[in-house]
Amino acid sequence: MDPSMPASSLSKRHQRLALDPEKIDIHGSRPGSKKREGFTAEQIAECRELFQIFDKNGDGEIDKGEFLPMMKALGLNLSLQELEMFFHRMDYNGDGSVQLPELVTFLEGISQPISLEQELQEAFGFFGPESLDISAKDTVTAIHPKGLAQIFAEMGEDISELECREMISAATGGKEWIDFKTFQRFCKAKK
């Protein structure tokens, strides 16, 4: 999650859906073929935001080149063969690209409800936190500049480790890392 994201938007997402790996059948029928409860308007808006992030050229379609970073952002580390299968399963109309309605249908078919706390844990884990020695006696699991720069690179963003260090320092008041407690504070609404 982006620490600059408005905290209030995360607090409203406690009913948000996450991917359920048990529901992903890369060899079987298309998700959405079984009747499931559809997404709320807010969840569809989140899908639209996700779609727009990865539709780099803004043409309203996600091609195969834009698809891999999107799958990684969804927490799916797939082989090239699995990526091909996912892409073809999501491309319901067979035109060689994925449009927003296809993405929504796919995500509706493989999602599960999660709590805000679970969502925050998953979001924190997405940034690849590592154990860091902060003193001779203390270690902390935290997001660090090198790991954050790697995540940005995987998402197709050109942000250096130095820029990540500066972002973390500015957001934390001088720290060189973001622990889970700080991450929660960034993401939860202030009362």
User: How high is the pLDDT of residue 61?
Assistant: 94
182 CB neighbour count, 10 Å cutoff = 20
60 CB neighbour count, 10 Å cutoff = 11
Give just the sign of the alpha carbon dihedral 110, 114, 118, 123: positive
Q: How far is CA 184 from CA 177, 188, 191, in A?
A: 14, 6, 14
Domains of the chain, CATH where assigned: 17-113 (1.10.238.10), 116-187 (1.10.238.10)
pLDDT tens-digit series, residues 62-83: 998 888 888 877 777 777 888 8
pLDDT tens track of the chain, all 191 residues?
343 333 333 223 333 444 444 444 443 434 444 444 678 888 899 889 989 988 988 999 999 888 888 887 777 777 788 888 888 888 889 999 999 999 888 888 777 666 778 878 878 887 888 888 878 888 889 999 998 998 888 777 899 999 999 999 999 999 999 999 999 888 876 65
